[in-house]
A and B are shown apart, each in its own frame.
Chain A
């Protein structure tokens, strides 16, 4: 069974204090790994797609990396507006495989 575990469940950072969020996954084969940001009461907003180990993507203060067993979302010098829940999802390999498996998310709070 495909599994995605995100840690920590919640993270409080001071403004400017860099850190990383973890997404560990267990799949028979990985077609893609996706990161989303979700603000309270809203739908998830797409951030990154990673397809193979060693791949990295960056956007402003965020950088996503991928290994064969986990992905990290690095947040450099965060600002209060980065506060949100960050979701990780994996798409397994396999004919007809279309179903994303989501982690439960990491709730990030950035304190001014």
Chain B
């Protein structure tokens, strides 16, 4: 089975802190994604990576950056956390663009 593991289930951070969310997949997938999920808004794509060191912006990249130094690992960085970044963050990976994405368990981030 594909496994996508996010480093934390719950995080509480202060406004202005730099926050790192880590994601690792074990199936040698090319593509990795970061989404956020908010009530009433559904899942929205923040960033996508199709190869090591390659990234593309999604719908809502402002305030975020990403890093993919190794194929299996994709990190989301909140440069200066703000309260409007309180959300559920979901990492996903897929073998190819037109195949299903597998999600991690999610990180519930609260910024106070």
Contacts and interface: CB of A to CB of B under 8 A. Distances in A.
Interface of A: 31-32, 34, 36, 41-46, 49, 51, 87, 89, 91, 97-100, 102-105
B102 interface: yes
Interface string B39-75: 0111101001010000010110000000000000000
25 contacts: A31-B97, A31-B98, A32-B99, A34-B100, A34-B101, A41-B108, A42-B105, A43-B103, A43-B106, A44-B43, A44-B103, A45-B103, A46-B100, A49-B100, A87-B42, A89-B43, A91-B97, A98-B31, A98-B50, A99-B45, A99-B58, A99-B59, A104-B40, A104-B41, A104-B42
Contacts of B98: 31-32, 51, 91
Interface of B: 4, 31, 40-43, 45, 48, 50, 56, 58-59, 90, 92, 97-106, 108
Contacts of A98: 31, 48, 50, 56, 97
Given A36-B103, A91-B98, 20 more contacts: A31-B97, A34-B100, A42-B105, A42-B106, A43-B4, A43-B92, A43-B105, A43-B106, A44-B43, A44-B103, A51-B98, A87-B42, A91-B97, A99-B48, A99-B58, A99-B59, A100-B45, A102-B42, A104-B40, A105-B42
B27 to A, nearest CB: 13
Contacts of B48: 98-99
B33 to A, nearest CB: 8
A104 B42 CA distance: 5
A59 B55 CA distance: 35
A87 B43 contact: yes
A91 B99 CA distance: 9
A49 B45 contact: no
Contacts of B90: 43-44
A102 B43 contact: yes
Nearest to B91: A43
A87 B97 CA distance: 19
A51 B58 CA distance: 23
